[in-house]
Amino acid sequence: ELHRLDGRGYKAYKGVAGRYAFSGFTLFIDHVQGDPFASPSRLRVRVPREQAGYPAEADANASRRVGLENFLALAFARAIRAAGGRYPELRRGSGKSGLLAIDAPGQEMLQRTAIAVTDAFVEARFVAGLPARGRTILGRAAAEMLGEALPEVVEESLFYSHNDQALLWRFVETAEDADALRAKLDEQGLVAFVADGSILPRRSGVDPRPLPASEAVPFQSPPSLRQSFALPNAGAVSGMGIPAGVTLIVGGGFHGKSTLLNAVERGVYNHRPGDGREKVVTVESAVKIRAEDGRYVAGVDISAFIANLPFGRDTLSFDSANASGSTSQAANISEALSLGARLLLIDEDTAATNFMIRDRRMQALITREKEPITPFIDRVRSLCEEHGVSTILVIGGSGDYFDVADHVVAMEAYHPVERTEEARAIAAADAQAREAPDPLQPPASRVPLPGSVDPSRGRRRIRVQARGPDTILFGEETIDLSAVEQIVDPSQTRAIAHALVHAWENYMDGERTLVEIVDRVMADVENRGLDVLTPYLVADLAAFRRFELAAALNRLRTLEVRR
Ligand code: ADP
Ligand code: MG
């Protein structure tokens, strides 16, 4: 068929959409691109489970299955690279001609639409650029690509007998161990755990791979915080348990404080073997909180932290197209709490100082009536004691927090040392009376107005698209997610973009609260998979959390809410 199309106009490719039986697998050509420069065509290959040969233990539970799927996505990507070396001429055409690509994972092992393993089959979804010169079909190249290169890729990557089996089992077991470890945190009264021997630092700010072992200081728990667990595959593991409560990470500049906190904030996800953070786990409902000046804020109750703004501005339902450092940080906390965050993670590097502390001298100069902010230091204990919300705080610049901390961990040349007793003694010798704030009220709930979230506004068709990890184009609006640090994969951003439309189409009715809407979407994904979010099969979506979905909605600059 492809040979017959050779030399014809590109549109003739449309006719090859459909389903083809190969030996050992089925190829589905789901969507054919309109021209060689357009988004590439969408394809799938499906190998019957029996022929693929994976033992039942490889996906005996959901944790293992995600590990296996991530392994297979990487194996498929590797096989594409190898085939590229064998068929270099395929890429000589115009535009995306000859491209084969699968959405392979980064350091985090997330459920993704690129690979699905079920009891019946193993399926890989990928894209292909059907070859052309100008807009003329290169039918022989297409036949070589789909008839020779692709079967080799499938052969090398999707059959158990051809896999690097030792590596496959490492993926499966690493995923299962991480989930098992996270599940044990609660019963031990912990909010996070960092295993001894973990490698926390990354190669660079733009390279998330681990620093090579020769340059990295492996993590070693202080004896006083050491906890041990028995894991299903790795057996006994020991490391630093961070108890529920208020924990400070202190220490001199450049001693590894932020690196530790970053590892903890990513501990809500599992990491692939070799990452160095495979056994760094954090409770699922941990949210990184930071200042984000310029943020859009719609009707958020920030009164717990900020009241009496100039000109009588409302903080029970605070609106701003350009929030300050402190008001944006307050909004971030309020939103996280309403979604059920149980652990807040804050780094002084990205926090607003006036939101975090107000020292004695400043309290003497600027009295309570003139300062709208109740600093976080005056809320952190009641958050913990009355609302069960723990905090881990990196703070090298203020000892005021010694008064309110349960644990103080000092980073000293990348080694954590527990210094709680000394910090307590220092605080006791220099006791400071702080004015007690009013009790903390839970934030009021917010109902999004559907008309304010219309992605078809200004156009006739809904147009929503992710651009990189940090940007969603939503109708005519641009949502900036660059400060939402727990989005770790551009495929999550793509999925969130679709999830916003799904939420708007199905659940925003002017009655449901934002939290209820987010819950419905997450339940749909849980019950029916990421495919529930899109009208057709998409090959490059990854699992995301409720916090990040809400973060995107909350940053949509047209959003209006009713209290
Ligand atoms: P701080 O927040 O205390 O100022 P950072 O966490 O930013 O320090 O770390 C400073 C530098 O040290 C970074 O370049 C980081 O990659 C590196 N680093 C952090 N932890 C380690 C470690 N365990 N081994 C080697 N280098 C590290
Ligand atoms: Mg730092």
Residue closest via CA to ligand 1's atom 1 equals: 254
Q: How far apart are CA 374 and CA 289, in angstroms?
A: 17
What ligand has the least distance to the C-alpha of 414? 1
**CA angle centred on 538, ends 62 and 178, rounded to 5°:** 25
* Radius of gyration of the chain from its Cα atoms, rounded to whole angstroms: 26
CA of residue 329 to ligand 2 center, whole Å: 18
Per residue in 373-407, pLDDT (tens digit) is 999 999 999 999 999 999 999 999 899 999 999 99
User: 257 CB less than 6 Å from ligand 1?
Assistant: yes
Binding site membership of 416 for ligand 1 (Cβ less than 6 Å)? no
Higher pLDDT, 359 or 300: 300
CA-based nearest residue to 422, from 221, 256, 224, 238:
224
Nearest ligand 1 atom, CA 215: 25
List the alpha helices (DSSP H) in 366-455: 380-387, 420-429
Query: What are the tokens at 177?
Result: 């161990």
pLDDT band at 430 (very low <50, low <70, confident <90, very high): confident
- Per-residue confidence (pLDDT) for residue 521, from 0 to 100: 98
Nearest-atom index, ligand 1, CA of 347: 2
Task: Determine the average pLDDT of the residues in 238-251.
Answer: 98
In this predicted structure, the answer to whether residue 435 has a pLDDT above a threshold of 80 is no
Residue with the smallest CA separation from ligand 1 atom 4 is: 254
For ligand 1, say whether the CB of 414 is within 6 Å of any of its atoms: yes
262 lines ligand 1 (CB under 6 A): no
Q: What mean pLDDT do residues 502-506 have?
A: 97
What CA–CA distance (Å, rounded) separates 335 from 554? 8
How many beta carbons lie within 10 A of that of residue 528, not counting itself?
10
Q: Say how many CA atoms lie within 13 Å of 76 toward its Cβ.
A: 28
pLDDT of residue 459: 66
Query: How many whole angstroms separate alpha carbon 331 and alpha carbon 551?
Result: 11
CA of 359 to the centre of ligand 1 (A): 28
Indicate whether residue 258 lines ligand 1 (CB < 6 A): yes
- What confidence score (pLDDT) does residue 458 get? 66
Atom of ligand 1 nearest to the CA of 255: 3
| Residue 283: exposure state from Cβ atoms within 10 A (0-12, 13-18, ≥19) | buried
Are 277 and 218 in contact by the 8 Å Cβ rule? The answer is no
Report whether residue 201 contacts ligand 1, using a CB cutoff of 6 Å. Answer: yes
Strand order in the sheet with 280-282: 226-231, 235-243, 190-195, 280-282
- Ligand 2 center to 257 CA (angstroms): 5
* Cα dihedral across residues 73, 76, 77, 78: positive or negative: positive
Three-class DSSP category at 137: strand
The alpha carbon of 250 and the centre of ligand 2 are apart by a number of angstroms equal to 10
For residues 158 and 178, give the distance between their C-alpha atoms in angstroms, rounded to a whole number. Answer: 25
Instruction: Indicate whether 272 pLDDT > 70.
Output: yes
| Mean pLDDT score, 239-249 | 98
Ligand 1 pocket member 296 (CB < 6 A): no
Residue 314 predicted with pLDDT over 90: no
Higher pLDDT, 78 or 312: 78
pLDDT at 456: 86
What's the CA gap between 249 and 258, in Å, rounded? 9
428 pocket-lining for ligand 1 (C-beta < 6 Å) = no
Rounded to 10 deg, the angle between the 490-506 and 514-528 helix axes is 110
Cβ of 212 closer than 6 Å to ligand 1, yes or no, is no
Nearest CA to ligand 1 atom 10: 254
What residues flank ion ligand 2 with Cβ within 5 A? 258, 349
Determine the Cα–Cα distance for residues 194 and 282; give it in Å rounded to an integer: 9
